[in-house]
Amino acid sequence: MRKEIVINVEPNETRIGIREDGDLVELMVERSGDRLSVGDIYKAKVTAVLPGMQAAFLDIGCEKSAFLHVSDMGDEIRDFESIDDRFEGGESSYVPETNKDKDFLIEKMLKKGDEILVQVTKEPIGTKGPRVSSQISLPGRYVVVMPNADLVGVSRKIDDREERQRLKSIVGPLKPEGMGLIVRTAGEGMERKQFQADIKFLTRLWNRQAKKTQKVKAPSLIHKDKEIITRLVRDIFTEDVTAVIVDSKKEYREIVSSLRSFAPELRSRVHLYNEDTPIFDAYEIEKDTEKMLSRIVALKKGGFISIDHTEALVAIDVNTGRYRGARDQEETALKTNLNAAGEVPRQLRLRDLGGIIVIDFIDMELEENRKKVIDVLRSGLRRDRSRTKTLRVSEIGLVEMTRQRVRPSLGQMLSETCPDCGGSGRVLSLQSIETRLERALKRLRGRTKEKRIELYLNPEAAFHMLSESAMRIVRFEKRFKMEIDVKDDPNLRREEFVVRSSRRGEELTHLMQP
């Protein structure tokens, strides 16, 4: 498989597209105004402790309070192998059983006003603030150093038993006293000198941060993780990447320079793009980014999937569309579902959708066909850097799955809620607006003696009222015994209206409310 990383650097925004065999599978965007990110370390102040939730809220100096769950505290690392996944798409998943672990309670560990060192593990999403952990970890190219742990581990993604033992035997003697080490996935096949250089650098980095922690008051930023391109080189640019193409001379030189210290063999794979055609156009990425916000994704041979992102979950619906090529209904459903099962993992990665995901495949009668579909889906998800869990296809064609979410989806980042529909995707019809106005005018008539009013509407609604519904205005005037002067106001949304007294200029809209 040919894997390419294409980097577009603009003054206020950096975009990174990852392509596999020519298809865009991931898009990362970082803007100059963005500050908070996974990996940042803060000295925080506890603002509230909630025993019922076994959690605390912390002030880290950002707009929203940070959330610390008891499962993300403690001197011991409960699920230490997943710490590596924090920088490769996953997070710690240990949740204590309160009845059995009575000493591991949030109210026994923290109180309001305490100061604590925490690290961001999940960025703010929607109305929720960032999630943090007191289990600090500093990632390098090949290892993760944990200052508050005393262990040696290997990433769960390295599944060869002999290789795991070999790596433990190498890094064990290199472990700094009182610190923990985890070998990252990129460390597979590496030798002592690579690990030694990584550990030396990270240990020095932590010592500097520890000194800074003692000098500052909470809330304060102690350590800012690397910029997006540096993180990419550290976390993603491995032997399976065929080429890295970047359109900035400055970033090109920095990438080559950083590779010189830990992966000189990869320097020849970095290329500077200096053509007149924009780099995302040349690699056919721009058109995919524009399609990414669309609700509908076309499949081969006429089928399609629709993707709806709600507060609780992501719903994906599979449809045959125009596809009618198979011999019978079961085969039509199977072929459409197989196409969808191959496309869904790509869309999840591309849009960075996470949380609970429900996929509504087309109903199939045969169990063997359901198995074929789930096998294709799981095969595609294996290439996902974020941790996923997939259940079997239910009898009604539903697949429930989860995908780790550490930041808002790209759709949430690149777009905002529609001010007219409030995110529902629908607005009142013009006929419904007319009926709504009639009810509101009836309330107004019962609450005021005004004989002449000015009715301000959105231009589209005003045009409709004055053209297609002109006679209805006349009926309004006769029914409510008042003269109505309809005017347009481009500042009003489609469903909004404002009413003023023509004689006094006083706004009367509040009198029209239920």
Question: Under a CB-based contact definition with an 8 Å cutoff, are residues 374 and 319 in contact?
Answer: no
pLDDT at 340: 94
Sequence letter at residue 216: V
Query: Cβ–Cβ contacts within 10 Å for residue 210, how many?
Result: 13
pLDDT at 495: 87
pLDDT at 74: 60
pLDDT at 46: 95
- Alpha-carbon torsion 96, 101, 103, 105, what sign? positive
In order of 4, 228, 338, 448, the CA distances from 345 in angstroms are 18, 23, 12, 60
Q: What is the pTM of this model?
A: 0.76
387 φ, ψ to 5°?
Answer: -75, 135
Q: Which residues pair with 481 in a beta bridge?
A: none
Q: Is 271 helix (H, G, I), strand (E, B) or coil?
A: strand
Q: Which residues pair with 67 in a beta bridge?
A: 57, 131
Q: Which long-range contacts (CB under 8 A, 24 or more apart) does 418-426 make?
A: 419/493, 420/493, 420/494, 420/495
pLDDT at 95: 39
Q: Which residues pair with 3 in a beta bridge?
A: 20
CA 419 to mean position of chain CA atoms: 22
Question: Under a CB-based contact definition with an 8 Å cutoff, are residues 445 and 482 in contact?
Answer: yes
pLDDT at 99: 41
pLDDT at 326: 59
pLDDT at 94: 37
Ordered per-residue pLDDT tens for the chain, 514 residues:
789 999 999 988 899 999 998 889 999 888 876 655 788 999 999 999 999 999 999 999 888 899 999 988 865 444 444 444 555 544 433 333 444 455 678 898 999 999 999 999 988 887 788 999 999 999 988 899 999 888 899 988 888 899 999 999 999 999 998 889 999 988 888 889 889 988 998 999 999 999 999 889 999 999 888 778 888 888 888 888 999 999 999 999 989 988 887 788 889 999 999 999 999 999 989 888 878 888 899 988 788 999 998 878 999 999 988 766 657 788 888 899 999 999 999 999 999 898 899 999 998 888 899 899 999 999 999 888 888 999 887 777 789 999 988 777 777 777 777 777 777 778 888 888 888 888 888 888 888 888 899 999 999 999 988 887 788 888 888 888 889 999 999 999 888 999 999 988 889 988 888 7
Matching residue, tokens 């929720």: 128
What's the DSSP call for residue 134? Answer: S
Question: Which pair of tokens denotes residue 299?
Answer: 């499949």
pLDDT at 103: 62
In order of 176, 195, 211, 268, 290, the CA distances from 207 in angstroms are 12, 18, 6, 34, 45
pLDDT at 249: 93
Question: Which pair of tokens denotes residue 232?
Answer: 């990419």
